Chains A and B, each alone.
Chain A
Amino acid sequence: GQNIDQPTEMTATEGAIVQINCTYQTSGFNGLFWYQQHAGEAPTFLSYNVLDGLEEKGRFSSFLSRSKGYSYLLLKELQMKDSASYLCAVMDSNYQLIWGAGTKLIIKP
């Protein structure tokens, strides 16, 4: 079966760095996405990785290792507004998105 695993909840301190991991087992791979979803709102696109390595975009970076079926989202200089759920999703060989359950990130002052 297809499976995406990410931690249910994480807590971090304002100004710090946090890494949210995602491991996956899917039938085929056409890229991995990270989305941010604030409570009561729709997801917003953060990043797309299809090749191994690190993609940096401001305070957010996303890493992919296809051989390990592993990705992480790195958030630097955490701000209170970063409190949200972070969704990992993999596009399989049929170009369907397989969604993880999301990681709720709690930022404390």
Chain B
Amino acid sequence: GAVVSQHPSRVICKSGTSVKIECRSLDFQATTMFWYRQFPKQSLMLMATSNEGSKATYEQGVEKDKFLINHASLTLSTLTVTSAHPEDSSFYICSARDLTGYTQYFGPGTRLTVL
């Protein structure tokens, strides 16, 4: 149980294009999903918290117009990196928390490379 999928697992794109990453909870309903970014050999950094049906809450320093988050259902959240630049290249990881517990279950991550 508590499986979270993420798609795509790896993406390479040109500078200036937009990339959408999907995060799905496969066997549970996630009222809250989280988006993290992790640079090589660094800690997880929380980017935003998204609750189903409401606007995401962004952490300080994260541009909400650049990182668009949509949490349209209890099993799906998407992160769109708009007008990507090489400095956005990173490992993006989502996690989901179910209705009853506190534990966050992580997706496998998406490695984004912007050329």
Give the interface residue-count category, chain A.
20 to 34
For the complex, what is the distance from the CA of A44 to the CA of B44, rounded to whole Å?
13
Q: Which residues of B contact A95 (CB under 8 A)?
A: 102
Given contacts A99-B44, A101-B43, contact A33 B107 (CB under 8 A): no
A97 interface contact, C-beta 8 A: yes
Contact A48 B44 (CB under 8 A): no
A16-32 interface mask toward B, CB cutoff 8 Å, 1 = contact, 0 = none? Answer: 00000000000000110
Q: Across the two chains, which residue of chain B brings its CB closest to A98?
A: B46
Q: Across the two chains, which residue of chain B brings its CB closest to A100?
A: B43
B93 interface contact, C-beta 8 A: yes
User: Beyond the given A43-B93, A43-B106, A44-B106, could you list 7 further A-B residue pairs with CB under 8 A, ordered by the A residue number?
Assistant: A42-B93, A42-B109, A45-B2, A48-B102, A87-B43, A91-B102, A99-B46
Using a CB–CB cutoff of 8 Å, the interface residues on chain A facing chain B are: 30-31, 33, 35, 40-45, 48, 87, 91, 95-97, 99-102
